Amino acid sequence: MKIANIRLGMLRVPLKTAFKTALRSVHAVEDVVVMIDTDDGRVGYGAAPATAVITGDTHGSIIAAIRGPIAPGLIGEDIADLNHLTQRVQAALAKNSSAKAAVEIALYDLWAQRFGAPLYQLLGGGNPLLHTDITISIDSVEKMVADSAAAVARGFAALKIKLGKDIDLDIQRVKAIHAAVAGRARLRLDANQGWTAKQTVFALHTLERAGVVLELIEQPVPASDLAGLQYVTERVNTPVMADESAYAPLDVIEIIQRRAADIINIKLMKSGGISNAIRIADIAQLHGVECMMGCMLEGSIGVAAAAHLAVAKAQVITRIDLDVPSLCLHDPVRCGVDFNDAQISIGNAPGLGVSGIDGLELLPG
Ligand code: MG
């Protein structure tokens, strides 16, 4: 089974309501979709969103990286030679982690189709069932409390609360949400780099003293401030999770060696795809550090790939943040993963199980 052609398309899916963090406000999910055709008529699917303020990748840069350095190195190659192919993708150019991720997702999809099994099974996974948290966008205290109560009523047992704009208001937000849902949902805070290290220690000590029990605090300080992340981790009881500071396996090794965080958030768009995400999970597991499987605001092709990986690495990926399909107005991707609010289950179709995409706009070759 050899790679014959690589095609690209655009897919846009509106969100039910705007997704708001300390960094941005988003109204729709918009992916570059990669289709890799083989000489025996199969298609592997991958996708990547633009997250310019996080990874630096735009739709234009993703398309250019795939057409330019990445695709020519893959045409004519055998899909069974997977490690060789992912090495080619990673070595094709520096950075551009989203473009690399989109192509790797399609390669792993084809590789699993080649062997006739769902991807999670070929990666060594057993139980294809996951439970995700849901994001509570940053907003007024009243709106965030109402959104949290509604999410718990829908069956979500963990909430990812977006913060990071105003520290005093953030403390009020968390206290109010805790008062409304304590004992019914685990609270995960994500400040998206919006606080300083000292502010974070102040906020967490204030919340800890007020009896607010938190499951974790995610990336409170800027991505480049590993010393700040370490400062926080040394001083608070609440577990600290690295997100924007943890892209590639070498970043994770440094974070673990410095004890700068207690948990690592793995996202395919940061790691540059599945091969490096597997390395990160393995490095973390060797050091006794747990991981979360997360995603960007992206459609269900990329989220499905993340779900397969999370199932395969369930021994170390103990937390799931793959809620985007539940935030979308509808899902145009027919794939082998059922996203049913908090519950995610993977079926028996080979690969990622993508059987069709409605409204996909093909880009001229
Ligand atoms: Mg985050």
The kind and range of the H/E element at 68 are none
Which residues are placed with Cβ below 5 angstroms of ligand 1, an ion?
Answer: 190, 218, 243
pTM (two decimals) = 0.97
**Residue 14, pLDDT above cutoff 80:** yes
- Burial class for 336, CB neighbours closer than 10 Å (0-12, 13-18, 19+): buried
Among the residues of 115-248, which ranges form H helices? 119-122, 141-153, 167-181, 197-209, 226-235
Distance CA 219, CA 196 (A): 10
**Residue 23, pLDDT above cutoff 90:** no
**Residue 349, pLDDT above cutoff 90:** yes
Q: Is the dihedral of CA 204, 206, 212, 213 positive or negative?
A: positive
Q: Evaluate whether 59 touches 10 at the Cβ level (below 8 Å).
A: yes
Cβ neighbors of 41 (< 8 A, separation 6 or more) are none
Determine the distance separating the centroid of ligand 1 and the alpha carbon of 179, expressed in angstroms: 23
Cβ neighbors of 317 (< 8 A, separation 6 or more) are 266, 281, 290, 291, 292, 293, 309, 310
Q: Evaluate whether 160 touches 137 at the Cβ level (below 8 Å).
A: no
Determine the distance separating the centroid of ligand 1 and the alpha carbon of 153, expressed in angstroms: 24
Between strands 43-49 and 25-38, the pairing is: antiparallel
- pLDDT value for 165: 81
- In the numeric block, which tokens belong to residue 143? 């709106």
Q: For residue 21, name the pLDDT band (cuts at 50, 70, 90).
A: confident
Determine the distance separating the centroid of ligand 1 and the alpha carbon of 182, expressed in angstroms: 22
**Residue 206, pLDDT above cutoff 80:** yes
Q: For residue 212, name the pLDDT band (cuts at 50, 70, 90).
A: very high
* pLDDT, tens digit, 9 for 90 and up, residues 64-80: 999 999 999 999 999 99
Cβ neighbors of 43 (< 8 A, separation 6 or more) are 35, 36, 37, 110, 354
- In the numeric block, which tokens belong to residue 50? 């633009």
- In the numeric block, which tokens belong to residue 2? 């050899």
- Burial class for 232, CB neighbours closer than 10 Å (0-12, 13-18, 19+): buried
Span 29-34, average pLDDT: 98
Distance CA 305, CA 266 (A): 12
Distance CA 331, CA 335 (A): 10
Determine the distance separating the centroid of ligand 1 and the alpha carbon of 295, expressed in angstroms: 9
- Alpha carbon of residue 64 to chain centroid: 23
Determine the distance separating the centroid of ligand 1 and the alpha carbon of 297, expressed in angstroms: 11
Query: Any idea which residues carry the catalytic annotation?
Result: 162, 267
